[in-house]
Amino acid sequence: MQENESFDADEIELMQSLGSLRPASPEVSEQTLWYQAGLHAGLRRARLWGGVAAAVVVLAVGMFAVRPGGSTVYVDRVVVQGVGSSVKPGTGSTSPLARSPVASIDYLRLRDAVEQLGMDALPQGEGSGDLSQPTQRAWAPQNPAAAPSPWDSLNTRG
């Protein structure tokens, strides 16, 4: 204690007398201290992982929102149209009945007529097909291949 040389004997004695007083201990046990430290460390780790998860979510949402949007691509459609045909651009269809525009229009007319008038509206077409009596064919099909379908008339009309 070289620093004590700068104090006189009375001061050193007073300091020693004061030093004999024992300060009160903290009202915290060592077990509490360790428990709190562990809890603190655990919470900090949980907070760290929570922050990482939040950052990932924000990044994902940001990437989804900021990604380049699909621009409208205009494609010139090439339509081959025969002379006298009533095909209009943009009415193409893959339906077998609608392959021919005329057939599709006829079909629609026929459908509307059947809805309004019933089976009588069906055409009494060529051949032996009688749509008003379908059961005859169903019960006794003589030659199904030879019997023309009423749909054939639709396809052959155009």
- For another protein, the binding residues (CB under 8 A) are 3, 6-7, 10-11, 14-15, 17-28, 30, 32-34, 36-37, 40-41, 44
Q: Give the C-alpha separation, 111 to 107, whole Å.
A: 6
Q: Are residues 131 and 119 in contact, defined by beta-carbon separation less than 8 angstroms?
A: yes
Nearest to 109 by CA among 154, 43, 59: 154
Least distance CB 36 / another protein (angstroms): 5
Least distance CB 32 / another protein (angstroms): 8
The residue among 30 and 115 lying less far from another protein, judged by its C-beta, is 30
Distance from the Cα of residue 54 to its chain's centroid = 23
Least distance CB 51 / another protein (angstroms): 17
Least distance CB 7 / another protein (angstroms): 8
Question: Residue 154 class from Cβ within 10 Å (0-12 exposed, 13-18 middle, 19+ buried)?
Answer: buried
The residue among 35 and 58 lying less far from another protein, judged by its C-beta, is 35
